[in-house]
Amino acid sequence: MTIDVAQTFIYFFAVIDPIGTLPVFLAAAAGHTDGERRRIALIAFLVSTAILLFFIVAGELILNAMHIPLPAFQIAGGIVLFLFALTMIFGESKPQMEVKLARSLKDTAIYPVALPSIASPGAMLAAVLLTRNQVYSLWEQAQTALVMLVVLLITLLVMLGANFIIRILGRGGADIISRVMGLILAALATANTLAGITDYFSL
């Protein structure tokens, strides 16, 4: 069997939000040379990739060790994702919130670029839910991991081309795209919550 690549890609694109990461990266990399910005982008990419791959491999094991059923985690995660999506749509967008964080704290590649911008809580949740052992085969989990890596590579390319992209989109353009992704994420979160409720009562 194969996964729904398009749906999985949209899910990861929404929660990782490569475009929304752009202003965060620009704030964190401000004052650095081009070479230093490239190194910051690469470090952020490697750290966030390691974190999300860890959740794919060990996330479900950790939940089982804590005796947390996956449907309960799915319901809670769906609610959290929905609330996060609402902040992207109606409140301050992800870029606006995290750029403020970047300006008020010490800027590093790991924080806030890798965490919480790229490897966001929503991305961690998606890594666990889309690779559940009882639902997906090892091959399907590997496909999901590959789709996630593609989104992370897109994020890396966005960061490497940050100066050029921001001139095309402008900060307003990045904000609009982030809000659209918030709407998509809200729909996915709703579907995720309903699926979790169904699974929970079918146990």
- The model's pTM is 0.71
What's the rounded Cα separation, in Å, for the pair 9 and 113? 21
Higher local confidence (pLDDT), 41 or 167: 41
**pLDDT computed for residue 104 by the predictor:** 37
Give the start-to-end residue ranges of the domains of the chain: 5-201
Q: Could you count the other beta carbons within 10 Å of the beta carbon of residue 114? A: 23
What's the rounded Cα separation, in Å, for the pair 120 and 9? 16
For 27-54, what is each residue's pLDDT tens digit?
677 667 778 888 889 999 999 999 999 9
Residue type, 67: H
Angle at 111 between CA 110 and CA 116, to 5 degrees: 105
Angle at 46 between CA 139 and CA 144, to 5 degrees: 20
